[in-house]
Amino acid sequence: MKILVIEDDKTTAAYIQKGMAELGHVIDIAETGRNGLFLAAGEPYDVMIIDRMLPGLDGLGIVKTIRAAGVRTPVLFLTALSGIDDRVDGFQAGGDDYLVKPFAFAELVARINALARRPPINDVQTVLRVADLEMDLLKRRVSRAGKDIDLQPREFRLLEFLMQNAGRLVTRTMLLEHVWEYHFDPRTNIVETHVSRLRSKVDRDFDKELIETVRGSGYMIRDPA
C-alpha cells in the first residue's frame, strides 16, 4: 500500500514509517498541515494517517478540504485528543477511523488494513460471487448454481463477510467483531456452530466445497478450481 502520514512529531512519524516499511508499504511523511494537504490533494494514496493537531493547518481542516475536493481516500485520525466530542468532530469532518495516542503498532496495522479493504464509495458491490455461489445484497438472496439457499439473518451476515473477503483468511476474532459485534471473546463455540450450519447449506449438496477451515487460524471462502 501507499500510505500518507501527516504527523509533526518526528519520533512518531519515524516509528510508523519504519514499521510500515518493514511490512512492505510505501510511506510519505508530511510534518506540517499545509505540506500534508498538498500531498493529500495531489497524490494517490490507499490510506492516510493524519494527526489532529498540526502546525499551519490542523487535521480537521485537511480532511474537510480534501473531501470537498472529491478525494475519498480512507483517513485514520491519530491523536492525543480522546474525548467523545473530539471523535465526533473527526468523523463529521470526513474521517473514517480514530486511534488515540499512545497506540499499539499492531492495532494501527489492523485498522489500516481494515480501511484499505473498504471498497470506494462508487464501487460498492451489490452482488457478490464466488464460483457458482451468488449473493444479492439488495434482494437479500443467496443462490448456488441457480438453486436458492435459505439463510437465517446471522448466517447471511456471516456468509456476506466471508464473500467480501473471498480468497483471504478470516480469523475467528474478525468474525466475532464484524458478524456478532463482540469486541471480546465470549468463550463459546458460537462461530464454529454457525460456520458448520452455513457449510451444511452452502456446500453439502454440491461437488465443490467453497468454505475452508484454516487450521488454527480461521476460515476462508474461495473457488477451489
| Distance between CA atoms of residues 73 and 116, nearest Å | 9
Residue-level pLDDT at 88: 79
Residue-level pLDDT at 37: 93
Write out the chain's pLDDT in tens, 225 residues: 899 999 999 999 999 999 999 999 999 999 999 999 999 988 889 999 999 888 888 999 999 999 888 888 999 998 887 667 777 788 888 888 888 888 889 999 999 998 888 765 544 567 899 999 999 987 889 999 999 999 999 999 999 999 989 999 999 999 998 899 887 788 889 999 999 999 999 999 899 999 999 988 899 999 987
Residue-level pLDDT at 169: 93
| Distance between CA atoms of residues 18 and 10, nearest Å | 12
CATH class of 127-221: mainly alpha
Matching CATH number, 2-121, of 3.40.50.1000, 3.40.50.2300, 3.40.50.720, 1.10.760.10:
3.40.50.2300
Reported pTM = 0.53
Domain ranges of the chain: 2-121, 127-221
Domains 2-121 and 127-221 share a fold: no
Residue-level pLDDT at 82: 66
Residue-level pLDDT at 93: 85
Q: Per residue in 190-225, is it b (16+ CB within 10 Å) or e — as a string? A: bbeebbeebbebbbeeeeeebbeeeeeebbbbeeee
C-alpha cell at 163: 464473500
**Alpha carbon distance, N-terminus to C-terminus of the chain:** 29
